[in-house]
Amino acid sequence: MHFLEQAPRHLFFTGKGGVGKTSIACATAVQLAAAGKRVLLVSTDPASNVGQVFGETIGNQIKAIPAVHNLWAIEIDPQAAAQAYRDRIVGPVRNVLPESVVKGIEEQLSGACTTEIAAFDEFTALLTDPALTAGYEHIIFDTAPTGHTIRLLQLPGAWSGFLEEGKGDASCLGPLAGLDKQRAQYKAAVDALADPQRTRLVLVARAQRATLREVARTHEELAAIGLSQQYLVINGVLPAGEAEHDGLAAAIVQREQAALAAMPDVLQSLPRDQIALKPFNLVGLDALRHLLVASAGPQTACAVELPDRLDAPSLASLVDDIAVDGHGLVMLMGKGGVGKTTLAAAVAVELAHRGLPVHLTTSDPAAHLAETLEGSLPNLTVSRIDPHAETARYRQHVLDTKGAQLDAQGRALLEEDLRSPCTEEIAVFQAFSRVIREAGKQFVVMDTAPTGHTLLLLDATGAYHREVTRQMGSTGLHYTTPMMQLQDTRQTKVLLVTLAETTPVLEAANLQADLRRAGIEPWAWVINSSVAATRPSSALLRQRAHNELREIDAVANRHAQRYAVVPLLQQEPVGVARLRELAHPEHGNG
Question: Residues 205, 332: contact at Cβ < 8 Å?
Answer: no
Predicted local distance difference test score (pLDDT) of residue 373: 63
Residue predicted with more confidence, 38 or 432: 38
The residue from 14, 22, 361, 451 that is catalytic is: 22
DSSP string, 242-306: GGTT-HHHHHHHHHHHHHHHT--HHHHTS-EEEEE--SS-S-SHHHHHHHTSSS--SS-------
Predicted local distance difference test score (pLDDT) of residue 452: 73
Give residue 513's identity as a one-letter amino acid code: A
Region 343-353: what's the mean pLDDT? Answer: 94
Q: Which residues pair with 446 in a beta bridge?
A: 331, 361
* pLDDT value at 527 more than 90: yes
- The candidate with the shortest Cα–Cα distance to 538, out of 266, 267, 250, is 250
Looking at the chain, the whole-number percentage of residues with pLDDT higher than 70 is 84
* pLDDT value at 403 more than 60: yes
* pLDDT value at 573 more than 50: yes
Predicted local distance difference test score (pLDDT) of residue 304: 77
Residues in the chain: 590
Per-chain mean pLDDT for the chain: 83
The residue from 14, 16, 17, 20 that is catalytic is: 20
Question: Residues 199, 182: contact at Cβ < 8 Å?
Answer: no
* pLDDT value at 475 more than 50: no
Residue predicted with more confidence, 253 or 576: 253
The residue from 14, 16, 17, 23 that is catalytic is: 23
Predicted local distance difference test score (pLDDT) of residue 301: 43
The residue from 14, 15, 16, 21 that is catalytic is: 21
Q: Helix 209-223 vs helix 247-261: angle between axes, to the nearest 10 degrees?
A: 30
Cα–Cα distance, 497 to 134 (Å, whole number):
44
Is 181 known to be catalytic?
A: no
The total of other beta-carbon atoms located within 10 Å of residue 512's CB is 21
How do residues 485-510 score in pLDDT, each as one tens digit? 888 888 899 999 999 988 889 889 98
Is 21 known to be catalytic?
A: yes
Predicted local distance difference test score (pLDDT) of residue 78: 77
Predicted local distance difference test score (pLDDT) of residue 438: 87
Confidence of residue 582 (pLDDT cuts 50, 70, 90): very high
Residue predicted with more confidence, 48 or 118: 118
Confidence of residue 558 (pLDDT cuts 50, 70, 90): very high
Sequence-distant (≥ 6) Cβ neighbours of residue 284 within 8 angstroms: 53, 54, 55, 298
The residue from 45, 121, 459, 514 that is catalytic is: 45
- Domain borders along the chain are 2-291, 315-584
Query: Which CATH number among 3.50.50.60, 3.40.50.300, 3.40.50.11690, 3.65.10.10 corresponds to the domain 315-584?
Result: 3.40.50.300
Domains 2-291 and 315-584 share a fold: yes
Q: Parallel, antiparallel, or unpaired for β 71-75 and 39-43?
A: parallel
* pLDDT value at 292 more than 60: yes
Predicted local distance difference test score (pLDDT) of residue 418: 82
Is 22 known to be catalytic?
A: yes
Is 317 known to be catalytic?
A: no
- The candidate with the shortest Cα–Cα distance to 73, out of 58, 87, 88, is 58
Buried b (16+ CB within 10 A) or exposed e, 48-63: bbbbebbebebeeebb
Sequence-distant (≥ 6) Cβ neighbours of residue 202 within 8 angstroms: 3, 11, 12, 13, 14, 24, 230, 231, 232, 233
Question: Residues 112, 145: contact at Cβ < 8 Å?
Answer: no
Cα–Cα distance, 70 to 22 (Å, whole number):
19
How do residues 17-37 score in pLDDT, each as one tens digit? 778 888 899 999 999 999 999
Confidence of residue 201 (pLDDT cuts 50, 70, 90): very high
Question: Residues 142, 44: contact at Cβ < 8 Å?
Answer: yes
Helix (H, G, I), strand (E, B) or coil at 234: strand
R_g of the chain, CA atoms, integer Å: 24
Cα–Cα distance, 477 to 143 (Å, whole number):
50
* pLDDT value at 291 more than 80: yes
Question: Residues 38, 167: contact at Cβ < 8 Å?
Answer: no
Residue predicted with more confidence, 471 or 447: 447
How do residues 40-78 score in pLDDT, each as one tens digit? 999 877 666 787 778 788 888 899 999 899 999 998 887
Cα–Cα distance, 330 to 344 (Å, whole number):
9
Cα–Cα distance, 124 to 404 (Å, whole number):
35
Predicted local distance difference test score (pLDDT) of residue 356: 96
Query: What's the DSSP call for residue 180?
Result: G
Is 18 known to be catalytic?
A: yes
The residue from 15, 17, 18, 403 that is catalytic is: 18
The residue from 199, 218, 342, 503 that is catalytic is: 503
How do residues 210-258 score in pLDDT, each as one tens digit? 889 889 988 998 888 888 889 999 999 999 989 988 999 999 999 999 9
Predicted local distance difference test score (pLDDT) of residue 11: 95
Task: Considering the domain delimited by 2-291, tell me its CATH architecture.
Answer: 3-Layer(aba) Sandwich (3.40)
Predicted local distance difference test score (pLDDT) of residue 462: 52
Confidence of residue 401 (pLDDT cuts 50, 70, 90): confident
CA dihedral 252, 256, 259, 263 (to 10 degrees): 170
Edge-to-edge strand order for the sheet containing 10-14? 63-64, 71-75, 39-43, 138-142, 10-14, 199-206, 230-237, 272-276
